Every structure is written in C-alpha cells, then in structure tokens.
Chains A and B, each alone.
Chain A
Amino acid sequence: AQSVTQLDSQVPVFEEAPVELRCNYSSSVSVYLFWYVQYPNQGLQLLLKYLSGSTLVKGINGFEAEFNKSQTSFHLRKPSVHISDTAEYFCAVTNSRLTSGSRLTFGEGTQLTVNP
C-alpha cells in the first residue's frame, strides 16, 4: 500500500514569487508519482509525472518537480507564480507494476493562493 503526505494545507504567496509545494510518500514497492491541479468546480488536470529516468521533471504552466528517492519526496516548484495559478494541488502515487492498474492514492491537497 502507498500513502502520500502533503506537508502544507495552504500556501499563500505573492504574485511573481517562487513557490514550493511539498509532498512525501510512503511505499513498499516501486511507484510512479504525479502532481494534479484542480481549479474551482472543475476536475483534475495533470501537471507532471515521474515514471523513471531524470529525477527533475518539467510539466505544464512552468511547473517542475524533483523526485528524491532517498527522502521519498516529490516537491513541486515554480520560479514565478501568477494569479491564475491559484488552485488546489494534489500529489498522487501509484504502484508501477504493470498488472496493478492505474489506481491513484492522493494526498490531502495544498491550496495555493497567489495574491497581487
């Protein structure tokens, strides 16, 4: 079984400031990692994913994340945020075994609020 902990439930920042949303995971098996964003009254949209290879993953909208296996972390970063980045962000993990399907385990979410 896997679990995900998002260390901050709310992150307020000013526009054009850098931001980091923290995610730690726990798993006894090899995993894939994801970050999703949810805007109000909408479903989830994939920002980026780590499957294998380079530990620095670049996603949409200028976001990137770094996979750190020793610290079991997958923190999301953006060097300069915009008002439009205000949303809830979810870190998710899944078993990478081919036969395990695509069941995702999500963290509790981090509400990012970008202030002018």
Chain B
Amino acid sequence: KAGVTQTPRYLIKTRGQQVTLSCSPISGHRSVSWYQQTPGQGLQFLFEYFSETQRNKGNFPGRFSGRQFSNSRSEMNVSTLELGDSALYLCASSLEARASYEQYFGPGTRLTVT
C-alpha cells in the first residue's frame, strides 16, 4: 500500500503570498490531520478532517485553513504568509478519527517564507 504523500516537498514563498499544500492519505483512510513543525515551537496540531468535515482545530490564526475532498485528499492553505510560517508541514492519515487508530505521517512539505 502506498504511504501518505505530500506535495510539493519543498516550497519557497514571499511574505504576503498565499500557499496551498496537498496531502493524499493512505487508501481507505478517512481521517487526515495536519501539523506544523518548527525548531522553536515543535510539533503543533493545526486541524483534523474526517469525511470532509473539520473535527478538530488547533490554536492557529484564521490565515490557516484546510479542507478535505470526497476522496479523502486534503489541502491546507495559508494566506498572507509571514516569516514565522516557515516550517515543515506534516500530514497524517488514519482509518478513523479516533485516538486508538494509528496515524501514518507523510514526509512533509518544507515551506520557506522569505
């Protein structure tokens, strides 16, 4: 079975621009979560989607948004980029949106904001 894929793997953007990151979960997985990883703040939860509905949201400003499609693929969008948005963005998928189900992480998208 193919793992979680994230595209693009690397991205360079300028302050003020917006960006869209994509995540394709493992086939059959219906839950997708997004995390931001930075050296200063560590791994922080952004949001979780299940069956096209946002189930959980972390403590991030409204500039961060996401969505999930009917095939469970997910996108996250960051508008009006700031230097502090530079991070590794990780996507994870699981069969169900339940804590007991293992989450499988993708390799991440490395976003650099200049």
Contact = CB atoms under 8 A, between A and B. Distances in A.
A44 B94 contact: no
Interface in B62-114: 90, 92, 94, 96-108
A104 interface: yes
Contacts of B56: 100-101, 103
B48 A108 contact: no
Contacts, number: 69
Contact of A51 (B45, B48, B100): B100
B107 A101 contact: no
Nearest to B55: A101
Contacts of B4: 43
Interface residues of B, number: 29
A43 B106 contact: yes
B42 A106 contact: yes
Contacts of B97: 101-102
Interface string A6-44: 000000000000000000000000001000100001111
Nearest to A6: B42
A101 B106 contact: no
B99 A96 contact: yes
Contacts of A96: 99-100
Contact of A102 (B90, B103, B105, B107): B103
Given A101-B56, A102-B33, A103-B56, A32 B105 contact: no
